[in-house]
Amino acid sequence: MRVLVTGHAGYIGSVMTPMLIDAGHEVTGLDSHLYDACTFGEDGRAPVPEIVKDIRDVEAEDLEGFDAVIHLAALSNDPLGDLNPKLTYEINHEAAVRLGRLAKEAGAKRFLMSSSCSTYGASGDGLIDESAEFRPVTPYGESKVWAERDLAKLADENFSPVYLRSSTAYGVSPRLRFDLVLNNLTAWAYATGRVYLKSDGTPWRPIVHIEDISRAFLAALEAPRELVHNEAFNVGSSAENYQIRELAEIVVRLAPNARVEYAPDAGPDKRCYRVDCDKLGRRLDYRAQWTAEAGVKELLDAFERTEVSPEEFEGTRYKRVAHIKKLVASGALDATLHWNSRVRGEDRVHIAN
């Protein structure tokens, strides 16, 4: 199958792309390369043909010839979405729906939308499935709700949108992020001996390894149409729902001489949800392979090979909000988060570093 992957050079895309290639698919990437300066260790990303373009600037001819589109590109979490809500809606909602419309017009049969369990927002302690009410509490979560709603209007006998609502991601990637809870807690433990909690530890989160997210997309890509057409799937494992303090305890068990420490302003987080992910395994050829414990071990091993410091993982290189703010402040990006036309290639990496 010929597949276009938007955001192929990002945190998840750089892991998903080689998995798709290994499964026999012909992959083209589309990415604006905002995070070229955010490479962790050696850049082991798979080289693929690519379209270097902002998702908002995609044209009809960019979509010609593809059987399916996997849409990962977005302002990718709650803090980044809060930075400029108007741009969040423009990129995560309006551009996603426009991309779906262009893909349909170009003849693509399947459109896999990277959605999020953040759409459930403040849902409390009960286990919820895909039929649960949306309760987003951030622009990011709301933008994903709106994208799902409007992409569904495009569904017909020739075009099948699918919505993969991923749990909170973790795991090692060439474009590693430290603004994700398990990655961040493990980095703090490795570098300082402290498992540093920025909330009171009570909120629930489902978590999922980025390889398991990639497996879910591959399963949805290859499944018979009638199993996925205009359907939503929670991505992860029902067994992998944790309170944040439980994740901290796992890290303490595995990181040498680590201890839990709460930030001075640690308080409750209104984002709280436990998610039932069983539909994905019942409907498709999918089973999550990672656990939080295995993920912490993987991260610790990676930190042994590539040293990290608090200045790095709390700085501009590995945190999406800080990185984008630095690019804007330097003039590399304009206020709309488009690249300045005078800044290209190696210059972008130099400015970001």
Q: Which of 65-69, 124-128, 303-307 has the highest mean pLDDT?
A: 65-69
Q: Which residues pair with 26 in a beta bridge?
A: 2
Average pLDDT of 201-210? Answer: 93
Average pLDDT of 335-349? Answer: 71
Cα first-last separation, the chain:
38
Strand order in the sheet with 232-235: 50-52, 26-31, 2-6, 68-71, 110-116, 160-166, 232-235
pLDDT of res. 78? 65
pLDDT in tens, 130-140: 999 999 988 99
pLDDT confidence bin for 202, thresholds 50/70/90: confident
pLDDT in tens, 167-187: 999 999 999 999 899 999 999
Quote the tokens at residue 115. 């959605």
Q: Which residues pair with 163 in a beta bridge?
A: 113, 232
Whose tokens are 């709309």? That residue is 336
pLDDT of res. 345? 55
pLDDT of res. 24? 98
> What are the C-alpha distances in Å from 106 to residues 6, 61, 70, 154?
16, 8, 15, 13
Q: How many CB atoms lie within 10 A of CB 252?
A: 17
Share of the chain above pLDDT 70, in %: 94
Average pLDDT of 139-162? Answer: 97
Q: Which of 348, 185, 155, 336 shows the shortest CA–CA distance to 251?
A: 185
3-state DSSP assignment of residue 109: coil
* All residues at 6 or more sequence positions from 76 whose CB lies less than 8 Å from its CB, including other chains: 10, 11, 320
Ranges assigned E (strand) in the chain: 2-6, 26-31, 50-52, 68-71, 110-116, 122-128, 160-166, 168-170, 194-199, 204-209, 232-235, 241-243, 259-267, 272-275
* All residues at 6 or more sequence positions from 61 whose CB lies less than 8 Å from its CB, including other chains: none
Q: What is the pTM of this model?
A: 0.94
Whose tokens are 């998702």? That residue is 55
Distance (Å, whole) CA 127 – CA 118: 14
- Secondary structure (DSSP) of 50-72: EEE--GGG--GGGGTT-SEEEE-
pLDDT confidence bin for 352, thresholds 50/70/90: very low
Burial class (CB in 10 A: 0-12, 13-18, 19+), 154: middle
* Structure letter (DSSP) for residue 338: P
pLDDT of res. 309? 86
* All residues at 6 or more sequence positions from 235 whose CB lies less than 8 Å from its CB, including other chains: 164, 165, 166, 167, 208, 212, 213, 216, 277, 280
pLDDT in tens, 225-280: 999 999 999 999 999 999 999 999 999 999 988 999 888 877 777 778 899 999 99
pLDDT confidence bin for 199, thresholds 50/70/90: confident
Spatial contact of 206 and 234, defined as CB atoms under 8 Å apart: yes
Distance (Å, whole) CA 94 – CA 100: 10
Q: Which domains does the chain have, with CATH numbers?
A: 2-352 (3.40.50.720)
- Secondary structure (DSSP) of 280-334: HHHHSS------HHHHHHHHHHHHHHS---HHHHTSTTT-HHHHHHHHHHHTSB-
